[in-house]
Amino acid sequence: MADAAALPLVFITAWEGLVDRASVKAGDTVLIHGGAGGVGHVAVQIAVARGARVHATVSAGDMASTARLGATPIDYRHSAVADYVAEHTAGEGFDIVYDTVGGATLDASFAAVRTYGGHVVSCLGWGTHALAPLSFRAASYSGVFTLLPLLTGKGRANHGAILAEAARMAEAGALRVRRDDRRFTLDDVEAAHARLRSGEARGRIVIEIE
């Protein structure tokens, strides 16, 4: 049940970006920024399950776990955009780039996407960004705001359909959620929030209501 509680938000966010916006398909070359994060590690699994060639930027400590999910890990601290684009796409750029980090990483996404028809998706597209690099590549951009159906009442049925896909993937053994091994209840919710703020959490944090 804790795994089930940890899954909906990140799965919907990943699915809306990769499937609903970018229409990921078999043979696509996909780059997930933040591939070990909450949305990122689920996005990796969705793209792999749909037959894409998946790459993910992660820290050195997450490279092995990301590879086990089926993605080629890229150490973002030691690899420049031009270098990994040259190494993994022969300089052509990725068909789809999903930014789950925001800020400068979104600008890096514009530089990593394929010229003519490439698609950048971001669930953290806040701030001010120059769109010229994307325009010069004749590529496109889509934003994902998962809470919109909850705020507006529109699109809720699509969320239900997405969660049905999550259930099918989980039952087939093609999806697992990365969850922090610390257990929290409502009595120590402040400690749970502190762990989240600290950056030490290794996956999703779940509050159990007894």
Q: What is the pLDDT of residues 2-40, one digit of tens each?
A: 889 999 999 999 999 999 999 999 999 999 999 999 999
Over 90: is that where the pLDDT of 133 sits? yes
Alpha carbon dihedral 96, 99, 100, 102, in 10-degree steps, equals -170
pLDDT, residue 162, reads: 97
CA 25 – CA 67 distance, rounded (Å): 20
Over 90: is that where the pLDDT of 169 sits? yes
For residue 12, what are the CA distances in angstroms to 117, 173, 190, 191? 24, 18, 27, 27
For residue 83, what are the CA distances in angstroms to 16, 73, 183? 29, 14, 41
Helix (H, G, I), strand (E, B) or coil at 142: strand
Domain locations in the chain as residue ranges: 2-143, 180-210
Residue 78's CB is within 10 A of a number of other CB atoms, namely 8
Domain 2-143 of CATH type 3.30.465.10: no
Q: Which residues contact 7 (CB under 8 A, 6 or more apart)?
A: 42, 166, 170, 175, 177
Q: What is the pLDDT of residues 52-64, one digit of tens each?
A: 999 999 999 999 9
CA 61 – CA 139 distance, rounded (Å): 32
Over 90: is that where the pLDDT of 146 sits? yes
For the chain, the C-alpha Rg in angstroms (whole number) is: 17
Q: What is the pLDDT of residues 97-107, one digit of tens each?
A: 999 999 999 99
Record the tokens describing residue 77, joined without a space. 């601290």
CA 33 – CA 57 distance, rounded (Å): 5
Stretch 196-203: mean pLDDT, rounded?
84
The model's confidence at residue 167, banded by pLDDT at 50, 70 and 90, is very high
Over 90: is that where the pLDDT of 181 sits? no
Alpha carbon dihedral 149, 150, 156, 161, in 10-degree steps, equals 100
Q: pTM for the whole thing?
A: 0.93
